[in-house]
Amino acid sequence: MIRLTGIEKRFSGNPVLKGVDLTVAEGAVTALIGPSGSGKSTLLRCANLLEIPDGGAVEIQDLRLEFSAGRRPSQAEILRLRRRTGMIFQNFQLFPHRRVIENVMEGLVTVQKWPKERARERAMDLLGKVGVAEKAEAWPATLSGGQQQRVAIARALAPSPALILCDEPTSALDPELAEEVVDVLRALASEGATMLMATHDLRLARSVASHVAFLEGGEIVEEGAPETIFSAPAEPRTVRFVRSLGA
């Protein structure tokens, strides 16, 4: 179980998240939707402490960390929580000076201290899983955007994280390449991966997510099953947003 409780975050004194509560069930996929500036990406980054919340608590499996003005977890606690997550970024964030397989191996060798041969085997298995095994020795710059994002997904999966975080994983891709990535994420969802994703991509939210949360102004306005949120939302703000997307 992944639980975010009362998450608050301010930048330069301005509230971006206002006591957000969100639970992601094990084996479920939750999509965060909402207008730009609503706090989606910030909430995602608070889940693995790329942004340290100003208040509230983050709980992943049996590890719970609490935050307040006078309580900041130690670096060791932060690293323990981060090791339970994998992050897929909007713009891939691959190391340009390392080959594809080295990108996937890097965290296993450097952070987890795996032997290189074991890490290489794991990396090759994952590259096969996302459909780019033949690119193992290629440089990232020679790959299409869709291929780079699939490598990034393999890298996020490498340490077998409890939670996969996806920050707009298709927004930098044209529709055809985005569909490749949607297919991979859909397959992961069908295998029971636990994911929390921020997205504007309705195909992704509709076809991959089992739960959708609509954020606006740093608060969750409404949440529920995709068919409810996109077809019969209850809150006027949700209705306006869904209509603006042509959903």
pLDDT tens sequence for the chain (247 residues): 899 999 999 999 899 999 999 999 999 999 999 998 999 999 999 999 999 999 999 999 999 999 998 778 899 999 999 999 999 998 888 999 999 999 999 999 998 999 999 999 999 999 999 999 999 999 999 999 999 999 999 999 999 999 999 999 998 888 888 888 999 999 999 999 999 999 988 888 988 999 999 999 999 999 999 999 999 999 999 999 988 876 5
For 215, the domain range is: 1-75+196-247
44 domain residue, yes or no: yes
Burial bucket for residue 59 (CB in 10 Å: 0-12, 13-18, 19+): middle
Q: Is residue 131 part of a domain?
A: no
Is residue 134 one of the residues assigned to a domain? no
Query: CA 244, CA 247: separation in Å to the nearest integer?
Result: 8
CATH of the domain at 9: 3.40.50.300
Angstrom distance (rounded) from CA 90 to CA 82: 18
- Whether 218 maps to a domain, the answer reads yes
- Looking at the domain assignment, is residue 87 inside a domain? no
The answer to whether the beta carbons of residues 109 and 116 sit under 8 Å apart is: yes
Q: Please count the structural domains in the chain.
A: 1
Encoded amino acid at 121, one letter: E
0.85 exceeded by pTM: yes
| Strand runs labelled E in the chain | 2-11, 14-24, 29-33, 55-60, 63-67, 85-88, 163-167, 195-198, 211-216, 219-224
Any domain includes 136: no
Question: H helices within 18-113, ranges in order?
Answer: 40-47, 75-82, 100-110
4 lies in some domain = yes
Q: Does some domain include residue 170? A: no
